[in-house]
Amino acid sequence: MDKKEILLQLRQAKSAHIKWRAYAQALVSGLPVEKDHVPVIHTDCAFGQWYYGAGQQLSDLSSFDSISAPHEMLHQIYMEIFKLLFGEDERSTFQKIFGSKSKKNTQKEAKKLMQDLLSISGTLLEAISLLENEVKEMSEEDLLEII
C-alpha cells in the first residue's frame, strides 16, 4: 500500500465520521433514521472499523493516539442521547411511574448533548487532520517502514 492509498482510506474514514454525525443530528431533530446508520458502540461505526482495523498500521505515528479519546467520547454522548430519546434509561420504577420527563424536556436535553457531541466531533476532526498531515509530510520510504 502506498501513501496515496493510505490517505484515501483516511479521508474515507473521516467522511464516514461526518456522515455518522449527520445521522445523529437527524435523529435528534426527530427525523427517522435506521438504527444501523448511527451505531452506538465506537468500534461499530465505519470510522471505528477503520481506526481499530486497517488504521492500526498508522499507530506508530505521534498523532494517531489523539484520535481514540474523542472518538470514544462521541459514542458515550450518543449513548446518552439514544437512552434519552428511546427511553432506555436507568431510572427506578418509582421514578418511571411518578417522575417521568416531558417530551419537551427530553428533546431539550438531547439537543444540549448534541451540541457537546458536535464540539467533540470538531476535536476529533482536528485530530484526524493532524494525522493526515503527518502522513502527507512523510516520505514514501518512511511510510513504508511503519506499515
pLDDT digits (tens, 9 = 90+) for 85-144: 887 545 544 444 444 557 788 889 999 999 999 999 999 999 999 999 999 999 999 998
* Predicted pLDDT of residue 37: 81
- Residue-wise burial string across 107-146, b where 16 or more C-beta atoms lie within 10 A, e elsewhere: beebeebbeebeebbebbbebbebbbeebeebeeeebeee
* Predicted pLDDT of residue 101: 56
pLDDT in tens, 44-66: 999 999 999 999 999 999 999 99
Q: How far apart are CA 96 and CA 110, in angstroms?
A: 18
Q: How far apart are CA 55 and CA 47, in angstroms?
A: 9
**Contact in structure between 128 and 17 (CB atoms under 8 Å):** yes
| pTM for the predicted model, two decimal places | 0.85
Question: Per-residue pLDDT averaged across 18-36, rounded?
Answer: 89
Tell me, what DSSP letter sits at residue 31? Answer: -
Phi, psi values for residue 67, rounded to 5°: -90, -35
Q: How far apart are CA 138 and CA 3, in angstroms?
A: 9
